[in-house]
Structure 1
């Protein structure tokens, strides 16, 4: 039995790196600590506990994790420092040796965080607890809002795909999930708390159902019936798992938004083979076309990796032209990073850092062009926008159903409200459209 008396009146800070799934899990960790009596430290206040939820998708991510730990240790001297997440799972002993770290928790341990905090006394050296990959089995539920208006519902964890460049299956284990019924119950709870929008998160969410004999389509249909939730967004789904039945259902759904995020990674079939992806450009293009046929206003975001091993100049040009031809809205561009233990290291052709940067810039410019053109189509239209919290005096932001970012004058009474907004021109930095409230 954990003695929660030691947590009373303690304060904590949380730092999250990486994906939406990590943010969801950090929110759940925060909820666990709050229920034990720990409050979030105020700005400028020295915390008793520091929690760092790490990412390890690239070498840069690893570096950012180390920098964040060092910064928090310096800002909160004497605090009990907990590190979890993908970097912690992949390199537990390395992380435990970082000065100031007390406990390192792997993928299987983070749900039981309280059990590893002891009496919050600092350790001379960090203790690492991380199960071997074969022993990562449990699914830790998470549906949290954190500091955001939107809720993030973790529907799945782990991955069975083992793409040649990726360490995520080693960091999070095999694909697994909770039941449809448990997801529906969490969505109902979010609605009871006043939540209006839920983002479905996971590592490979289209693979939902492997551990329960259900499907992602089953989940989508069931969530659509939850009263009180006005909007769902599918955070990211593999193109080979985005079925026509899912696309068709979303097109006439009550609450699933015309918004898809579909990882492509490369627009070259030869590179896709080297990456060990499970589709080709023809399938990807057909999915984009199908979405646009059913939902012409749909926002489509796409992940792309540049400079992976084997990506020759010719392959990149093929990829660029393919991506340019797609009717998509935005590109999330990542430079390839060498990851220890991955099969990609066996591929010969290596792209220089300078060439990676050049390719990345070309795609980012293409992305800006596509996003700007998409936004511009809706200037002058009136659309419902879910407004989100902002700092006093700062403009409020929100999103249309098809994920156009909108900026309106601050009004506290409109937080977490869906309101009609007439869309105007771009704001000063081009990241949103000005909106006029129609109340």
Structure 2
């Protein structure tokens, strides 16, 4: 506990110097990190291989842990994209002068010290640190054991660049792999201002239930795509295939296809491309009867109630047949996680109803839920997808990593 407390204290102290950095200095640091990451690609991949060698390739987490040269170059591109974005710090959100002459301004400021607890994906180290640096925040990282060597290598690169630039490296702190450290972080009220968990529902629920620090819930995504009676089947096939198979291990992946009963005859066409990716379908009775003559039997299963509301993070998908849009909305309300939901329709009335009544951070019309991502929204890399309603919702990028404070300037006013 004493060692961990020292890490927390050092991170908080380091935050003071971070507040004094100018945007130009921060951008130079980010460029140096991008260059050093490019130069150390082979080192990162060799450490990542150590993690992969400890895993079963059939484990859905394997793809989340895996880094490739292409993925690292994508991370470098995201870092440079963040450089191009304006700093959110210091923005004046409101300004007014009172009748007594007091000048008030509402100013965006960093949260301070942000603790990130995440599973598997080592790219989170880069995403979190670069966004925190650009928004003036210190980050304390607690990664999972699956990506132990990858996380250590990435943080080592970041801290070496900071050290070379005479910046306190404790603005990026990686906590030990011990699980007990999570509870210490969740209770570090004197040092940490905000906790953001990134991972499955069990992690997020644990953090929410045990933290004594404000938490922003992110990540768990039970995502639906509803093929409405007025949907275009060509568009439907493309969207369902992309939303399900583009990258199954991420939270914006399609988990359940909902289809109107009167469009069941189009279901074999809509699902046709899924069999090429060996997607296992858990179909309700009506959809199963339609698909059994068209979809490979080894990939087609009869759905149970447990298959609805499941975040598969795998080449698996449920299908639910409903009577109308109201049934679809009811199903999503019951089983969704308020992450990303989509409708495929050419009907304007259905579009308006779906947009109005679906309670989710991102609501799509005739588009794949795979776009729920900070970089895709033009926000730079995101620190997570918030599924709650306080402060931030959807992709959390630079602006969402700021709080605000009021600045009151006077000339001797006192209150009677």
TM-score normalised according to structure 2 size? 0.29
The structure whose RCO (Cα within 8 Å, separation 6+) is larger is 2
TM-score normalised according to structure 1 size? 0.28
